[in-house]
């Protein structure tokens, strides 16, 4: 046998050995990721229960007032359980090489900062100017690690907005944070929105060939699901700003990161988040046009009018989930997988939502 054949055989054996080790590692990592999902949900479930007992013992209650949609005092600030269980699991994705560490740092820094700020506001009021400063700081942190906003696909044309795009992305993240806070006004609605949107996004990533990207929304869905056990109508604890602001920021960051994978995926995320985006934005614009003080608390969102019409939170909360799955998901899939233009798909998805906002008087002044 020649020296060449011995060397070649040795290289082949090493190559095959490395391949076996790699396949074993990837298989083990994949199994670990799947097993992490019920663990995340369980941690969130247990921690929310502990936070509820803590809130009851310390009388940290959300007391109903004239602008509330609930009628009995309820413990608040349970959303920190969502933030902790999700953020604690994120580094696993980096350690097994599923997602880039820059993406993880963006979520960890912005998510933890906004959750902490919300927690402080839930327990002792933080002035609006300091909250907004924290919101913009979180947005800038996330965009720094994501390299800002990539070029967008707008009706078939690639649009690079440069620094203007980064500014608009910052405003978008701050608006996502605040609109999610505005929309967290009845039992279970913010949780159902997050779980259904994230699970729909997982399917979207899977079918469009970006399977690795599904783990972040999957983990977020599990973290919210554990909390939702306690928050589903009738709610036994509210998420508070620590949860709603966190979810708005994290979902916004995930959607911008999706644009770096494929411009169509950003449009799909905007479509999936349509119920909250349309209701909150339509309500704000209508109140601005009407000359109302938009910074004051109110009950004029479409979902709030709907809950008063049906005198229950449950049908409205379930309707949000149904719209996400039955209407917005198919449109988002057409955009991501079938070549439907993203901006056009957004218009198709949003038109019925705007009609619903008008039907349920979004932004109108509530009758005394």
Q: Can you tell me the mean pLDDT for 351-359?
A: 98
Please state, in angstroms and rounded to a whole number, the distance separating the CA atoms of residues 327 and 350: 10
pLDDT digits (tens, 9 = 90+) for 223-259: 999 999 999 999 999 999 999 999 999 999 999 999 9
The values of phi and psi at residue 166, to 5°, are -65, -40
Q: What is the pLDDT of residue 22?
A: 43
Query: Is the pTM above the cut of 0.85?
Result: yes
267-288 pLDDT, tens digit per residue, is 999 999 999 999 999 999 999 9
As a whole number of Å, the end-to-end CA separation of the chain is 97
Summarised one tens digit per residue, pLDDT across range 182-209 is 999 999 999 999 999 999 999 999 999 9
The secondary structure of 192-260 as a DSSP string is HHHHHHHHHHHHHHHHTT-GGGGHHHHHHHHHHHHHHHHHSSSPSS--HHHHHHHHHHHHHHHHHHHHH
**Tokens at residue 193, please?**
């929105």
**Residue 149: pLDDT over 80:** yes
What is the C-alpha separation between 150 and 258, in angstroms, rounded? 10
Query: What was the pLDDT predicted at 2?
Result: 43
Q: Answer left, alpha or beta for residue 312, where phi above 0 means left and psi between -120 and 50 means alpha.
A: beta
* pLDDT tens, position by position, 108-140: 999 999 999 999 999 888 999 999 999 999 999
What lies within 8 Å, CB to CB, of 347 at 6+ separation is none
């Amino acid at each position: 046998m020649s020296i060449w054949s011995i060397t070649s055989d040795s290289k082949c054996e090493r190559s095959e050995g490395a391949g076996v080790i790699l396949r074993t590692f990837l298989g083990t990592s994949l199994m670990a990721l799947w097993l992490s999902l019920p663990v995340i949900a369980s941690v969130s479930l247990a921690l929310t229960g502990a936070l509820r007992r803590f809130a009851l013992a310390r009388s940290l209650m959300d007391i109903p007032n004239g602008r509330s949609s609930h009628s009995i005092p309820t413990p608040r600030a349970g959303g920190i359980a969502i933030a902790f269980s999700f953020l604690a699991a994120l580094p696993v994705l980096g350690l097994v090489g599923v997602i880039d560490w820059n993406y993880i740092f963006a979520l960890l820094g912005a998510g933890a900062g906004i959750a902490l700020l919300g927690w402080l506001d839930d327990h002792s009021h933080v002035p609006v100017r300091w909250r907004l400063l924290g919101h913009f700081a979180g947005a800038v942190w996330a965009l720094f690690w994501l390299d800002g906003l990539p070029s967008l696909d707008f009706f078939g044309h690639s649009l690079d907005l440069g620094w203007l795009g980064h500014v608009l992305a910052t405003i978008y993240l701050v608006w996502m944070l605040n609109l999610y806070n505005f929309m967290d006004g009845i039992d279970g609605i913010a949780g159902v929105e997050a779980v259904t949107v994230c699970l729909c996004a997982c399917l979207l990533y899977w079918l469009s060939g970006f399977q690795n990207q599904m783990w972040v929304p999957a983990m977020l869905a599990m973290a919210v699901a554990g909390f939702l056990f306690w928050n589903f109508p009738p709610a036994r604890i509210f998420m508070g700003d620590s949860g709603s602001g966190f979810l708005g920021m994290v979902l916004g960051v995930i959607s911008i990161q999706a644009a770096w994978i494929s411009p169509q995926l950003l449009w799909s995320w905007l479509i999936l988040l349509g119920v909250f985006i349309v209701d909150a934005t339509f309500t704000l614009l209508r109140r601005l046009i009407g000359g109302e003080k938009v910074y004051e608390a109110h009950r004029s969102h479409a979902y709030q009018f709907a809950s008063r019409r049906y005198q229950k939170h449950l049908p409205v909360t379930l309707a949000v989930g149904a719209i996400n799955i039955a209407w917005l998901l198919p449109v988002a899939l057409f955009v991501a997988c079938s070549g439907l233009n993203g901006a056009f798909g957004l218009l198709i998805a949003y038109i019925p939502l705007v009609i619903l906002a008008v039907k349920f008087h979004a932004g109108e002044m509530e009758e005394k």
